[in-house]
Amino acid sequence: DWIMGDYIAEAVAKIREQVGDEEVILGLSGGVDSSVAAALIHRAIGDQLTCVFVDHGLLRLNEGDMVMDMFAGKLHARVIRVDASELFLGQLAGVTDPEKKRKIIGGLFVDVFKAEAAKLKAGDGGHKGASFLAQGTIYPDVVESGGTKTKKAITIKSHHNVGGLPEQLGLKLLEPLRELFKDEVRALGVALGLPAEMVYRHPFPGPGLGVRILGEVKKDYADLLRRADAIFIEELRGWKDEATGKNWYDLTSQAFTVFLPVKSVGVMGDGRTYDYVVALRAVQTSDFMTADWAELPYGLLKKVSGRIINEVRGINRVTYDVSSKPPATIEWE
């Protein structure tokens, strides 16, 4: 709309003025904030922006390809995709402790990104080298790191924090979303032409499926989980609630599937199966500090469970998590 058009014009002018003819690097995760930041900065400076997308192999089904289709394909932005899945899976082999897994994933992520950023800083044929690091920091992030951290008095889970990266890399910081709230970031994303599906996505943790596969992370587990989770999300999006006219993806704050590395007995045709279990998790919350499990319609649960068990060979049992936060957390690890 007109007001948003005005806002974009102003933001674009500001970025151009700040950056001049220099070059910018941005870490693209596929999440809302980095995606909107990338789209805005690309609108302002085009090929002076290079996005680095680190694929740790713990993303959802087709997620990496979707990020590339959107940014490299549709927006024609310069995007470097780093497929680091073997590195991550290798380092995670044998590790079962959730906090150790988080530290390994967060640490490797920073290492891989830094290595790419260093190359881009040095420049190459046609590129003089980057001097800015862009981040999708939004207003609530600024407030949280500014000392008013009241809500997170107790750290239950360490989130990986990329603070200090610009200094370490010797790059100037560019943060065009610093003054915006989440709903404003989403509106901006839509106005910049990003699909509503991307802009209104549920949050996804930095360690990805690494904390949704309980215990040791294995590629086979991740592959099974990705397929089961895609079915759950597809059915949530397709299942409309009559009373509100909304689908159940939009009626929940976060929904996903958890892989349980335990086997249980089942029966398929004339045979016995002995396969893995997944749990479906769906919550409603306003701030993610407390959350209620969502009262999904039985018909929806039945359809999801039937599809997962029939379509994902290797999973023969589906459960629904009816725990609220507290005392449970939203993620299982």
Chain residues 183-222 in contact with ligand XMP, contact rule CB under 6 A: 203, 205-207
Residue choice 288, 320, 321, 323 for contact with ligand XMP (CB under 6 A)? 288
Only one of the segments 11-19, 155-163, 187-195, 236-244 lies at the binding site for ligand XMP (rule: CB under 6 A); that segment is 155-163
321 annotated as ligand-binding = no
Name which of 76 and 152 has its Cβ closer to ligand XMP. Answer: 152
Nearest distance in Å: CB 159, ligand XMP: 4
Under rule CB under 6 A, residue 157 binds ligand XMP: yes
Phi first, then psi: give them for residue 7, nearest 5 degrees: -60, -45
Under rule CB under 6 A, residue 303 binds ligand XMP: no
Place of tokens 């939009």: 250
Nearest to 106 by CA among 16, 255, 210, 13: 210
Write the DSSP assignment of 173-239 as a string of letters: EE-TTTT--HHHHHHHHHHTT--HHHHTPPP--TTGGGGTB-SS--HHHHHHHHHHHHHHHHHHHH-
5 annotated as ligand-binding = no
Distance CA 169, CA 276 (A): 44
Are 51 and 77 in contact, with CB atoms under 8 Å apart?
yes
30 annotated as ligand-binding = yes
239 contact partners, CB below 8 Å, separation of at least 6: 247, 248, 297, 299, 300, 303
Name which of 56 and 102 has its Cβ closer to ligand XMP. Answer: 102
Under rule CB under 6 A, residue 102 binds ligand XMP: yes
33 annotated as ligand-binding = yes
**Three-state DSSP class for 294?**
coil
- Return the structure tokens found at 330: 């939203």
253 annotated as ligand-binding = no
3 contact partners, CB below 8 Å, separation of at least 6: none
Only one of the segments 154-162, 164-172, 185-193, 295-303 lies at the binding site for ligand XMP (rule: CB under 6 A); that segment is 154-162
Residue choice 3, 153, 156, 243 for contact with ligand XMP (CB under 6 A)? 156
Under rule CB under 6 A, residue 168 binds ligand XMP: no
Name which of 204 and 248 has its Cβ closer to ligand XMP. Answer: 204
Strand partners, 27: 52
Residue choice 74, 76, 159, 272 for contact with ligand XMP (CB under 6 A)? 159
Size of the site for ligand XMP (CB under 6 A): 14
What angle do the packed helices 32-45 and 2-19 form, to 10 degrees?
70
Interface residues with ligand XMP (CB under 6 A)?
102, 156-157, 159, 203, 205-207, 254, 288, 325, 329-331
Binding site for ATP, residues? Answer: 29-35
